[in-house]
Copies of this chain bind each other. A is one copy, B any other.
Amino acid sequence: MGRPSAPLLSVDKIADAAVRLIDQGGPFTVQAVARQLHVSAPSLYNHVQGRDHILELVRARLASRAGLAAAEASDWEQAVELFVRAHRRLFAGHPRLIPLLVGQTIRDPGVLQAYAHLARVLERAGFARDELLTVISVLDAFALGSALDSAAPAEVWHSDDEDFAALLAETAAPRAEAALDAGIAILLDGLRARLRTDQEPISD
């Protein structure tokens, strides 16, 4: 009781504990984070603004670890690939994070910079300005979806249909890597075709 001589907590420690907790699998509560740190729940509020803030810290932390911002590529195709792979790395080890972050507004400047950078690269490459957000959403959603599926397809679909259940069982984690490559190829092919249309709109 009372103030400790050296602080027990810090923003970094809280973020780390939150990541650990999420990976462990239990429900994500402020109280559980506090328990990880052997501290009472209200203590966290000296360093952090609340539950949502903790999740935003986790996003920032994992994004920098996954090298999301470092995606400085020369050409747009490489930029797309790096963006997707970084995003996928971000979530791949932490599938339980996805439902926690979907629907939460992204506020972390570092993460937003990565999005803004990709938007600029795509625009410079010749993509129509009002398509940029769609393209980014597709990439974003794809990385997220494939991370979720590769980690736990059974958690997404629960089928009694024999054929579909077999398909689910069959698609195991090792194959998911190849599936990611295939998915990226699909997206890049599609985007290349799109770019041609954007650049030569009246070519015939």
Q: Residues of A at under 8 Å CB distance from B?
A: 96, 98-100, 102-107, 109, 112-113, 115-116, 119-120, 129-135, 137-138, 140-142, 144-146, 148-149, 153-161, 163-164, 167-168, 170-171, 175-176, 178-180, 182-183, 185-194, 197
Contact = CB atoms under 8 A, between A and B. Distances in A.
A122 to B, nearest CB: 11
A169 to B, nearest CB: 11
B134 A179 contact: yes
Given A105-B158, A130-B170, 14 more contacts: A99-B99, A109-B160, A112-B161, A112-B164, A116-B159, A131-B179, A135-B186, A138-B186, A141-B142, A142-B142, A182-B194, A185-B197, A186-B194, A189-B190
